[in-house]
């Protein structure tokens, strides 16, 4: 078991749909996101909520530009 599994194991054990939605990058270029968990059999609602969340937090998605994923956005000095 990996240390990061502690954030997903509750949804897995309960059988709940869950997803991780990306959000805005930090000033250093590191990714930030949110984990969304829904009630049983709510996959469609969860996907719609993630879509709304992402459109609100990543403005370039509205224009179809996507999010640049190059290494120059990540602060290599730390």
**Assign residue 66 a region: left if phi > 0, alpha if psi is -120 to 50, beta otherwise?**
left
pTM for the full predicted model: 0.64
Q: Helix, strand or coil for residue 33? A: strand
User: Which tens digits make up the pLDDT trace of 55-66?
Assistant: 877 766 555 555
Q: Minimum mean pLDDT among 3-12, 42-51, 67-76: which range?
A: 67-76
At 69, the pLDDT band (50, 70, 90 cuts) reads: low
User: Which tens digits make up the pLDDT trace of 5-42?
Assistant: 787 888 989 999 999 888 877 888 788 888 999 999 99
Residues 6+ apart with CB under 8 A from 65: none
* Nearest alpha carbon to residue 23 among 68, 53, 62, 64: 53
Residue with tokens 């509205």: 62
């Amino acid at each position: 078991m990996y240390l990061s599994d502690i954030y997903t194991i509750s949804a897995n054990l309960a059988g709940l749909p869950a997803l991780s939605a990306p959000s805005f990058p930090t000033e250093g270029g590191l990714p930030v996101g949110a984990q969304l968990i829904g009630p049983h059999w709510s996959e469609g609602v969860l996907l719609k909520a993630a879509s709304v969340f992402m459109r609100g937090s990543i403005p370039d998605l509205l224009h179809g530009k996507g999010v640049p994923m190059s290494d120059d956005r990540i602060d290599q000095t730390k």
